[in-house]
Each structure stands twice: as structure tokens, then as C-alpha cells.
């Protein structure tokens, strides 16, 4: 896991955006399916990472499915492995460039206690995973 993952998850919660985390080992097809299931407009990925001593160019894998994810308006790319990746303008943007120009403070979106917080896919025997909508319960 990288530091930007919990930051992005907490940022989504703060602004009231539903998020879903996809394990990078599932490859791009799972990413594509989950984007299309949810109608996501923004996705976040990394340039690449090292697994078992081998460099994996995740951005290159994600690029292969972008034509099949019509809802995506922005792909935020985190520079994690310092790989040279091809950025597709105007969809692709670098995380660090967004952070340089962002405000330090952001208003918190007021949400109902039963509003969905994230989408969690469970493993199972079905071809398509079940989608569970998780709710943040406010305890006073």
C-alpha cells in the first residue's frame, strides 16, 4: 500500500464521493469492470510498482482499458516507481501536480448517516462479484 491510498479514501469521504479500491494484482480487467459497474468519473492509479523483483507498469495496463471505460473523465496518476509513462491529454493528470495547486483546506460535505461511503466487492463463486454498499454509521 502507498501513502496516497488512505489519503484519497479519506478525501472521498470528506467530499461525499463514493469510492472503491481495486487490488493492483487483479490487473486492468477488474479495474475496467468496476469502473463500468459504478460509472466512475475519476480513477487513480500509479505509474508502476515492483512485485517479486519485477517492475510492473500499471499505467500502461490501465491505458489498455481506457477506451472501454467511457465514464472516466480524469485518470490521476501517482508517480510511485519513477517510470516514464505516456500521459494521455487531457484525461491523465499527475497527482503531485494536482496537490501543488490544491487548497490546504476543504469543506466537509454533510452526509446522511445512511449515505454510501464505499463499494466493496466480495469474492465468491459467481462470475461477477456481489457489490455491497457500505454505510458509515454516525455514533453520537
Q: What is the DSSP string of the chain?
A: --THHHHHHHHHHHHT--B----GGGHHHHHHHHHHHHT-SEEEEES-EEETTEEE-HHHHHHTTGGG-TT--EEEEE-SS-------TTTEEEHHHHHHTS-S--PPPP--TTSEEEEEE---SSSSPPEEEEEPPP--
pLDDT 10s digits, 52-100? 899 889 999 999 999 999 999 999 999 999 999 999 999 999 999 999 9
Domain-located, residue 121: no
What pLDDT does 30 receive? 81
pLDDT at 140 over 70: no
**Confidence class for position 31, pLDDT limits 50, 70, 90:** confident
* CB 88 within 8 Å of CB 63: yes
Domain count, the chain: 1
Q: Is 28 a member of any domain?
A: yes
Indicate whether 59 belongs to any domain: yes
User: Whole-angstrom Cα distance, residue 105 to residue 88?
Assistant: 29
In a domain, residue 47? The reply is: yes
Residue 140 lies in a domain: no
How many whole angstroms separate alpha carbon 99 and alpha carbon 79? Answer: 12
Cα Rg for the chain, rounded, in angstroms? Answer: 16
Average pLDDT score over residue span 30-59? 90
109 has a pLDDT exceeding 50: yes
Q: What is the mean pLDDT of residues 34-47?
A: 92
- Comparing 108 with 127, which gets the higher pLDDT? 108
133 occurs within a structural domain: no
Average pLDDT for residues 7-21, to the nearest whole number? 93
The pLDDT of residue 84: 95
Task: Print the domain residue range for 51.
Answer: 4-107
Q: Is residue 127 part of a domain?
A: no
What is the model's pTM? 0.84
Closest listed residue to residue 33, CA positions, set 127, 100, 125: 127
Question: In the structure, what pLDDT confidence band is assigned to residue 26 with cuts at 50, 70 and 90?
Answer: low
pLDDT digits (tens, 9 = 90+) for 112-133: 988 989 888 776 545 454 544 4
Residue 87 in any domain: the answer is: yes
Amino acid at each position: 500500500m502507498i501513502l496516497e491510498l488512505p489519503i484519497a479514501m479519506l478525501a472521498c469521504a470528506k467530499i461525499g464521493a463514493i469510492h472503491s479500491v481495486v487490488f493492483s494484482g487483479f490487473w486492468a480487467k477488474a479495474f475496467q469492470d468496476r469502473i463500468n459497474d459504478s460509472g466512475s468519473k475519476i480513477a487513480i492509479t500509479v505509474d508502476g510498482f515492483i512485485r517479486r523483483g519485477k517492475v510492473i507498469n500499471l499505467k500502461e495496463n490501465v491505458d489498455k482499458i481506457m477506451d472501454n471505460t467511457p465514464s472516466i473523465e480524469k485518470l490521476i496518476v501517482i508517480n510511485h516507481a519513477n517510470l516514464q509513462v505516456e500521459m494521455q491529454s487531457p484525461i491523465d493528470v499527475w497527482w503531485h501536480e494536482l496537490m501543488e495547486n490544491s487548497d490546504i483546506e476543504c469543506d466537509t460535505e454533510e452526509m446522511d448517516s445512511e449515505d454510501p461511503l464505499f463499494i466493496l466487492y466480495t469474492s465468491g463463486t459467481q462470475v461477477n462479484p456481489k457489490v455491497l454498499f457500505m454505510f458509515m454509521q454516525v455514533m453520537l
